[in-house]
Amino acid sequence: MKVTFLGTGTSQGVPVIGCSCEVCRSVDYRDKRLRVSVHLQVDDKSIIIDSGPDFRQQVLRERIKKLDALVFTHEHKDHTAGLDDIRAFNFSQHKDMPLFAEERVLEQLKREFAYIFADFKYPGIPQVQLHPITEEPFEVEGVPFIPIRVKHYKLPVLGFRVGDFTYITDANYISAAEKEKIRGSKVIALNALRKEPHISHFSLQEAVDLLEDLQPEKAYLTHISHLLGSHREVELELPDFIRLAYDGLQIEV
């Protein structure tokens, strides 16, 4: 499986509009972070997790010509705002786009993108096929997904384990039982917002502690704020097996 980090930034992205901090002024390409998303290529299947506001730009940058399905972790705008741009795939693939999400998330998509679900559909709008998911394992176009229940302050969010890769974003609590589902993953991508504690995201230290407990061969931190510090400097402080993800990073798992 090939994993491409389409975006690794928190909800505002990095740089932040109007901010002139050192990270936002950095010329290091790894300090330019679009909103969080990953592309999974498993055999001939192409799957994206979350379609944030930068979806179009990310798909163009990575030259993703084919998309078989979208899977959502939760309903926050930084994970869903780009949904309208799946139209391009409807036109080129001549079929509805399968969307996999929990019932609560699908209901929110119906409210925020009411025109997609209207009885009278304006020509050219996105065409979707809804697949409600739960905490039970499911398949996306034949690719097995194991959902991992995590908490994002009070909001229940899903992470996903696909083979030896686990992807968790927007979490600040994972129960012991859910950690067991992650254990044994060769590669884990986990959110780490900044050094200071936060109400709904793991801090850098919390993420490092969790990864030291789970002991993957390799881990990548994502959903990163400009407040975390520069890519180069933060990586120097991390154990060798933990790196910061950056936009465009590709790994084989």
The 218-237 contact track toward Zn ion, x by CB under 5 A, reads: --------x-----------
Residues 2-31 that bind Zn ion (CB under 5 A): 16, 19, 21, 24
Q: How far is the CB of 91 from Zn ion (least distance, A)?
A: 29
- 29-42 burial: b if 16+ Cβ within 10 Å, else e: ebbbbbbbbbbbbb
Nearer to Zn ion, 185 or 230 (CB): 230
Q: Is 78 in the site for Zn ion (CB under 5 A)?
A: yes
The 124-153 contact track toward Zn ion, x by CB under 5 A, reads: ------------------------------
In a 3-state reduction of DSSP, which class is residue 81? coil
Please name the amino acid found at residue 222.
T
Q: Candidates 30, 33, 76, 198: give the one binding Zn ion (CB under 5 A).
A: 76
Nearer to Zn ion, 43 or 199 (CB): 199
Q: How far is the CB of 175 from Zn ion (least distance, A)?
A: 19
Residue 207: DSSP 8-state: H
What phi and psi, each to the nearest 5 degrees, are found at residue 209? -60, -45
Tell how strand 37-42 and strand 143-152 pair up: unpaired
Q: Is 85 in the site for Zn ion (CB under 5 A)?
A: no
Q: Candidates 75, 170, 178, 206: give the one binding Zn ion (CB under 5 A).
A: 170
Helix residue ranges, H only, the chain: 55-61, 77-80, 87-93, 103-112, 176-182, 204-214, 231-236
Residues that bind Zn ion (CB under 5 A): 16, 19, 21, 24, 76, 78, 170, 226
